[in-house]
Amino acid sequence: MEDVNAKSTEVRDFLLTRRAKITPEQAGLQHYGGNRRVPGLRREEVAMLAGVSADYYTRVEKGNLAGVSDSVLDAIAGALQLDEAERVYLFDLARAANATGRPRTAGQRRRSPYRIRPVVQQILDSMTTTAAFVRNGRLDILATNLLGRALYSPVFDSPTRTSEAAPPNLARFHFLDPAARDYFPNYEVSSATPVAILRTEAGRDPHNRDLSDLIGELSTRSEDFRTRWAAHDVRLHRTGTKSFRHPVVGELTLDFEAMELSADTGLTLTAYAARPDSDSAERLQLLASWAASAVQPAGPAR
């Protein structure tokens, strides 16, 4: 019952926060309704836009997604102007609500440690001019190449690692290690990313106890994380630009591509590259030289 209530709360809070972000004007309802007591759309407005009854949408927003069809979910997603990540998240919540035959202890399931296949490590090691690593959905760094290990050396050396054998965790470093504020020059902006990735993963894999434990730890120990988590924002982290302030070479602005490993569900390979002839390209080269002499060999994170 507790697990069901938690799922219902998750659905309710997600839809409430999305509804609050859409104004009647954005939805094309400039002349609809009179005095307003809510910042965004009313429930009946979402229902009208989605082509369902107000009672039906109210039931959905209260967390009852059992039996809701894909076409209705699509209509609600359209009414709320959800982006791709938000739409995927809504469907993940619905899939969890409609799961049947799941053991009562499923919420306590822990993931077995991921093993990086040798060919994946070979691919990482062949990327000599880019910093690359493999992570899971809870943002554990599971493997790197030499340059990736050098780039993330503050994360590997962080006291937030639970043990020397445990993989470094990007979210734990970001919110529990004061050094993160120096390492990420755009800290306030970049803080949204790990929270959104964890929220997305929680929708995809709601019965992962290791993930739930991490979220619980961060919520307890970091007010910043707790506040951002309550926003229910999600993100598909595929491409973009990220800035670092590395203790050895200084500021780096790098473009990245994040690619899911189709043969290894839940694992993502991320590669960083500097733009040619930029200051960051020169500094990345310096970092590679430093890594060759000062960083332990790359491979499975340790």
DSSP string, 72-86: HHHHHHHHTT--HHH
At residue 19 the predicted structure's pLDDT band, cuts being 50, 70 and 90, is very high
Rounded distance, CA 244 to CA 87, Å?
A: 31
Check pLDDT > 70 for residue 282: yes
Task: Kindly provide the residue ranges of all beta strands, DSSP E only, lying in 12-65, ordered along the sequence.
Answer: none
Mean pLDDT of 192-218: 94
Q: In the prediction, which pLDDT does 138 show?
A: 94
Neighbour tally for 300: CB within 10 Å: 14
Check pLDDT > 70 for residue 102: no
The structure's pTM equals 0.88
Check pLDDT > 80 for residue 260: yes
Instruction: Of 243, 272, 255, give the one whose Cα is nearest residue 180.
Output: 243
Instruction: Of 84, 119, 126, give the one whose Cα is nearest residue 239.
Output: 84
Check pLDDT > 90 for residue 51: yes
Check pLDDT > 90 for residue 170: yes
Check pLDDT > 70 for residue 108: no
Q: Which helix (H) or strand (E) holds 142?
A: strand 141-144
Mean pLDDT of 158-177: 92
Mean pLDDT of the chain: 89
Check pLDDT > 50 for residue 103: no
Contacts of 276 (CB under 8 A, 6+ apart): none
Domains, the chain, in order of start with CATH, read 2-100 (1.10.260.40), 118-300 (3.30.450.180)
